[in-house]
Amino acid sequence: GAGVSQSPSNKVTEKGKDVELRCDPISGHTALYWYRQSLGQGLEFLIYFQGNSAPDKSGLPSDRFSAERTGGSVSTLTIQRTQQEDSAVYLCASSFAAGGPSYEQYFGPGTRLTVT
Amino acid sequence: AQSVSQHNHHVILSEAASLELGCNYSYGGTVNLFWYVQYPGQHLQLLLKYFSGDPLVKGIKGFEAEFIKSKFSFNLRKPSVQWSDTAEYFCAVNAYTSGTYKYIFGTGTRLKVLA
């Protein structure tokens, strides 16, 4: 079946530009997560959605970062006025629900963002 | 604050050697525990999980992990590694805290298995 998809797979942008990253979760999954993966930094949690609401935005690094989810499905992560330190792989994951005994996450392939 | 610690950042083993990767978490309540693996060029995927019952859980490809509640640990083991186990391994904890679910990942351990 279809897994989590992300687009674009690669994005090169100039410092100061805005970028939008998209995530299509697995159909029926109510929880959606965004992470940032930098070399040597592991997985940095950014935000998660339960349905269209975001109970936990604690990981967003600055007010340049925002995310939304519509229709309980597609999510967009927006980075405004990109900086070089924003360069990383942005991962999206979805799960059947946000918590519980067996609600593992299913990850997408990621978007590699390079800010020049 | 809740955290997950993976003590080994890089591990190099020869084929057939035994593997144990450490994972400790800090959270006093009920937790669900996971190990994820990322093979080179592939997505992160679930290796195994624990939520209740037998603290020794078995996953795919011969991996197992033991939950020791008193030590807040969930170490990953494999008796005999293969070259194809070369990957990055992440421990993760899922817990309900401060009115929301938290899903916290460790920083990962890069395993290289020499043929």
β pairing state of A75-79 and A65-69: antiparallel
Express each pLDDT in A7-26 by its tens digit. Answer: 999 999 999 999 999 999 99
Asked if pLDDT for residue B101 goes beyond 80, the answer is no
Asked if pLDDT for residue A55 goes beyond 90, the answer is no
A41 contact residues in B (CB cutoff 8 A): 107
- Among B32, B33, B43, most A C-beta atoms within 10 A, so best to mutate, is B43
The whole-number average pLDDT for the span A74-96 is 96
Q: Which residue has the higher pLDDT, B97 or A9?
A: A9
Q: How confident is the model at residue A79 (pLDDT cuts 50, 70, 90)?
A: very high
A55 to B51: CB separation less than 8 angstroms, yes or no: no
Rounding to the nearest 10 degrees, give the CA dihedral for residues B34, B105, B102, B36. -30
A45 contact residues in B (CB cutoff 8 A): 103-105
Report how far residue A113's alpha carbon sits from residue B4's, in angstroms, rounded to the nearest whole number. 26
Q: In what order do the strands lie in the sheet with A5-7?
A: A5-7, A19-24, A75-79, A65-69
Asked if pLDDT for residue B46 goes beyond 70, the answer is yes
B90 to A99: CB separation less than 8 angstroms, yes or no: no
